[in-house]
Amino acid sequence: MERVVLAERFRTIRPLGAGSMGVVHLAEDVSSGARVAVKVLPKELSSDAELAGRLAREAVATTAIDHPNVARAIEAGTDPDGTAWLVLEYVDGRSLREVLGAGALHPVRALKIARQVLLALGAAHTKGIIHRDIKPENVMLIAREGFDDEDVKVLDFGIAKLDQRHQLTGPSTSAGVVYGTPTYMSPEQVRREPADARTDLYALGVMLFEMIAGAPPFHGDDITVLARHLTLPPPPISSPISPETLTLAVRAFSARLLAKNPDARFASAEDAIVALDAALEAVQADKPIESGLRTGATLIPKGSLPPSPVSESATPLQKKTAKLAAFARSYGLTPSQLVFAFAVAIGLVLIVTAVAMATS
């Protein structure tokens, strides 16, 4: 690949990815040797007012926010041949989308990731910036050497909504146009209503649900998903890894983020952090969380968990109850939910048998 030097300072090394906004390159600052990421909008695309506006919007937003959980902008410009570019902090990690490819996350890990995303959103909202496209692809996870926890970086403010204090030259996002990714869009986005801080909180709620459950709350083609955001309540959240961690406080936190009415959600990212911290503290106080959560993305095989520890003096009934509880947890269920499912299944068998005998 031909190496290109932008602004006589940034030398491209190799492509990191490509999309509608051109190509993202790993590059180095020739003056310092530092690694950076460069978004390059080729000259044949730079004449597209929409794409050029997005690049300018991201440059303004990421420069204004200046927060450790947001990938910061370093420099932006246009070469004499018309190539527009934006230099960003290089984030050496994995996208949340890549991590979720291995399955659901432990709820505690998911909540800790969500907390850092909320910190980034709070910093953005304070500056009058609404992201409007929070999703796993736009969240990077960076391992901390020697620690279980990880750092989070929020990326891609290309379709962000900026208030009047940010004086942008060129086109802005158009009123009445739907911006975002269907799976993570809030009901008000679907209705083409103005977005505010609570719009980002809904998207985070969808992402948190996906991190814990292994799949987002609504499925189907884009039109079906958008309709479900408008009309259907989210299904009960469950965890295939640690269902006992989903306390009432955690479930209430998730449900409030996903409220259809923005007024029923948290008023701000800061309010959401207060509720998240309380839920997380209750979970960790009730049961210390073992180490190794950062690598715990693999789903536990159903039915494979060992029985809960019971003493040798336990009665046969207590031992059977412990085995039932462990078996139910491996399916992401409580014992009562598992018994109910068996009862429903037996009822259906009896009904089918009765109908078959009546018609024979």
Q: How far apart are CA 222 and CA 134, in angstroms?
A: 17
- Among positive and negative, which fits the CA dihedral 6, 171, 181, 210? positive
**Alpha-carbon distances of 17 from 95, 208, 322, rounded to whole Å:** 12, 25, 49
The verdict on whether 221 is a catalytic residue reads no
Whether the Cβ atoms of residue 39 and residue 22 lie closer than 8 Å to each other: yes
Gyration radius from the chain CA atoms? 24
Q: Is 62 exposed, middle or buried (0-12, 13-18, 19+ CB in 10 A)?
A: buried
Query: Nearest-5° angle of CA 4, CA 141, CA 333?
Result: 145
Q: How far apart are CA 48 and CA 131, in angstroms?
A: 22
Which among 66, 133, 151, 286 is annotated as catalytic? 133
C-alpha neighbours within 13 Å on the C-beta side of residue 336: 1
The closest alpha carbon to 237, from 99, 111, 348, 132, belongs to 111
Q: How far apart are CA 227 and CA 216, in angstroms?
A: 15
Active site residues: 133
